[in-house]
Structures are given as structure tokens and as C-alpha cells.
């Protein structure tokens, strides 16, 4: 079985070939430029690869309603040129294979449930914390959609008492993404997070906002695993800070032995930086099975 996979990010596209075991056999990446050029580059990569199906995990927001006339479109993204673009339609026209389509974070949650940190569990949430913040939800053995799809990066968060930063989100200013995504770190401190030392006060504030969001997610969705990926989460000092703050926020209210070991509950991706691409591979496998 040869399945194509695309992790369509706002900064770069990652394309790969994989098999039914989740193995990535080949991959390329290239910058996300204007939509026609970028999607054509992706299509050209797959044309001589003999793929049987394709999975696409994309940045959004997306129209995932299969009954909608704009199903498969990127919708209200602020990324120049991509708003209302028919991403799925272009790739299906070029490749003509069964195609699975979802958000990049729903795909990553799906991949982690099949082969990664949530393997064997019927629920998990996956946060990616990078240029933006996205949340994928997998529960009852299914990826969650609804009115649109989870937009957990834009939930309101209680402010850190020492933080007067206005926030960077063009829609909501001080939502989770506006306060804790990579650009917020850079603008608040005048330098990128990857240049800040591990003991910088930035990380205590960053952990505050992420713990606020995770606390709400745990209370609302009761996932069996919380997975934190993305470039900002390469700062490993964040994990103990977040766990400590989540425990303080929950204050013993959720009666589960799982929460007695937050080191095993709030974790990095088991698939590492392959979570998104492997999740897209899982979408392709699912599309092939369902025709």
C-alpha cells in the first residue's frame, strides 16, 4: 500500500509517501507560497509515485461539511491569497484518488491515536503551539467536527496577573493564540522564543496561558491523553511548568488516577515532528478503506 500524505502548513507544505503501518518512506517540504503554485507543486510530487489514496491535514479554518458547496475550501484565514481557496478540489482534480481531508491538528491527533502517544486510547487532544495555536480533538474513536471544527487556539484565557501584553490575534487580541503563539512570544519579548534562555520569565507566563487552556479542555472534553506539539513546545522546560499549573487549576476536582501522574498525561507527541504527516497518512488510509 502506497499512500500520499500532505501536512499543509501556513509556513510550509510537507508531502510524503507512507504505508499502512504508518511508516514514512519518502518526504519533501517546500515553502507555502501563493495557493495555485503551492498546490501544484504538491500534486506534481505525487504524480509519478503510484499512490492509491491521499490524506491532507491542512491549516485552516476549513469547510469540512461534506454537504457544503465549499467543502474542502480554506475559509477565513488571514494568510494572503488563501482565503476561500479550494485546496481539496485542486488536488483531487490533479490526482484523482480517494482523498481524506481534515485540519492539520485533527490529523495529528488521529496519527497519535493510531501510532503515537495515544495509541490504544479512544480519546486525546493535540495542541500545536507554533506560528499559531491549533487543537485537534479525537474522542470516541472519531475526529471531532461540528458547526465547523475545533478552534481551541482562539479560546479566551484569563490573563497572567503580571502580563500587560495586548495580544497579537487580529480577530480576538488576547485569546490563547494571541497570547501564547510564537509571534506573541517574539512581540512581547522583542526576540524569538528559540533565543530566550530556559530560565527566562517568558516561560512562566507562557505556561500560564497554556495551562489555562488545558484546564478548560480537561474539564470539558475529559481526554485520556493531552499531547503538546509544535515549535514552541520544543522548549522542554515548559512541560513541568504546565503540569504544575494544570494541577493547581484543577485543585483535585477531577477524580481520576490518571491525573496522579501528569508526566504521563500531558506529553510531547509520540511521533515527534512526524505527527502531522503521519496523521495525514492515516486520513489517506481511512479514505481508501471507505472508497
Q: Tens of pLDDT along the chain (291 residues)?
A: 999 999 999 889 999 999 999 999 999 999 999 999 999 999 999 999 999 999 999 998 999 999 999 999 999 888 899 999 999 999 999 999 999 999 999 999 999 999 999 999 999 999 999 989 999 999 999 999 888 888 899 999 999 999 999 999 998 999 999 999 999 999 999 999 999 999 999 999 999 999 999 999 999 999 999 999 999 999 999 999 999 999 999 999 999 999 999 999 999 999 999 999 999 999 999 999 986
Q: Answer whether residue 160 is part of any domain.
A: yes
206 and 136 in a common domain: yes
C-alpha cell at 197: 534562555
To which H or E segment does residue 109 belong? Answer: helix 104-115
Residue 185: count other Cβ atoms within 10 Å of its Cβ.
Answer: 27
Please give the pLDDT value at position 78.
81
Q: Answer whether residue 246 is part of any domain.
A: yes
Q: Answer whether residue 16 is part of any domain.
A: yes
Its domain, for residue 136, covers: 117-268
Q: Answer whether residue 110 is part of any domain.
A: no
262 and 125 in a common domain: yes
Q: Answer whether residue 109 is part of any domain.
A: no
Strands 24-31 and 12-18: antiparallel
Q: Answer whether residue 111 is part of any domain.
A: no
91 and 18 in a common domain: yes
Please give the pLDDT value at position 149.
84
Please give the pLDDT value at position 26.
96
200 and 75 in a common domain: no
Task: Check: CB of residue 98 under 8 Å from CB of residue 287.
Answer: yes
How many whole angstroms separate alpha carbon 207 and alpha carbon 225? 18
Per-position b or e across 217-241, b if 16+ CB within 10 A of its CB:
bbeebebbbbbbbbbbbebeebbeb
Residue with cell 485569546: 175
Task: Check: CB of residue 89 under 8 Å from CB of residue 72.
Answer: yes
How many whole angstroms separate alpha carbon 264 and alpha carbon 31? 35
pTM: 0.95
250 and 154 in a common domain: yes
CATH, residue 181: 3.30.420.40
Q: Is the Cα dihedral 48, 54, 58, 63 positive or negative? A: positive
125 and 242 in a common domain: yes
Give the contacts of 90 (CB within 8 A, at least 6 positions apart).
Answer: 35, 36, 39, 40, 43
124 and 79 in a common domain: no
197 and 212 in a common domain: yes
163 and 86 in a common domain: no
Q: Answer whether residue 138 is part of any domain.
A: yes
165 and 71 in a common domain: no
How many whole angstroms separate alpha carbon 184 and alpha carbon 200? 15
Q: Answer whether residue 203 is part of any domain.
A: yes
Q: Any alpha helices (H) in 171-290, and if so which ranges?
A: 176-180, 182-189, 202-221, 238-250, 262-265, 275-289
182 and 89 in a common domain: no
- Looking at the structure of the chain, the number of domains it has is 2
Q: Where are the beta strands (DSSP E) in the chain?
A: 3-8, 12-18, 24-31, 53-58, 73-74, 85-86, 99-103, 123-129, 133-139, 142-143, 226-229, 266-267
123 and 249 in a common domain: yes
Amino acid at each position: 500500500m502506497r499512500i500520499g500524505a500532505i501536512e499543509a502548513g501556513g509556513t510550509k507544505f510537507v508531502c510524503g509517501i507512507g504505508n499502512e503501518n504508518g511508516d514514512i518512506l519518502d518526504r519533501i517540504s517546500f515553502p507555502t507560497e501563493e495557493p495555485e503554485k503551492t498546490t501544484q507543486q504538491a500534486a506534481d510530487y505525487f504524480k509519478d509515485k503510484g499512490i492509491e489514496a491521499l490524506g491532507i491535514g491542512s491549516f485552516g479554518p476549513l469547510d469540512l461539511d461534506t454537504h457544503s458547496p465549499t467543502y474542502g475550501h480554506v475559509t477565513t484565514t488571514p494568510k494572503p491569497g488563501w482565503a476561500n481557496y479550494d485546496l481539496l478540489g485542486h488536488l483531487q482534480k490533479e490526482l484523482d484518488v480517494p482523498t481524506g481531508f481534515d485540519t492539520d491538528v485533527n490529523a495529528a491527533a488521529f496519527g497519535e491515536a493510531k501510532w503515537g502517544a495515544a495509541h490504544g486510547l479512544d480519546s486525546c487532544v493535540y495542541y500545536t503551539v507554533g506560528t499559531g495555536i491549533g487543537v485537534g480533538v479525537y474522542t470516541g474513536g472519531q475526529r471531532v467536527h461540528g458547526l465547523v471544527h475545533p478552534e481551541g487556539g482562539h479560546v479566551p484565557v484569563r490573563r497572567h496577573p503580571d502580563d500587560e501584553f495586548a495580544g497579537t490575534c487580529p480577530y480576538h487580541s488576547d485569546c490563547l493564540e494571541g497570547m501564547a503563539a510564537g509571534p506573541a512570544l517574539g512581540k512581547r519579548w522583542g526576540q524569538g522564543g528559540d533565543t530566550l534562555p530556559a530560565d527566562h520569565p517568558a516561560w512562566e507566563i507562557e505556561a500560564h496561558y497554556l495551562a489555562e487552556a488545558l484546564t478548560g479542555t480537561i474539564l470539558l472534553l475529559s481526554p485520556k491523553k493531552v499531547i503538546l506539539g509544535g515549535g514552541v513546545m520544543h522548549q522542554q522546560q515548559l512541560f513541568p511548568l504546565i503540569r504544575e499549573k494544570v494541577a493547581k487549576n484543577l485543585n483535585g476536582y477531577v477524580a481520576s488516577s490518571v491525573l496522579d501522574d501528569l508526566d504521563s498525561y500531558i506529553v510531547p507527541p509520540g511521533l515527534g515532528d512526524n505527527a502531522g504527516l503521519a496523521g495525514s497518512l492515516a486520513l489517506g488510509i481511512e479514505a481508501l478503506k471507505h472508497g
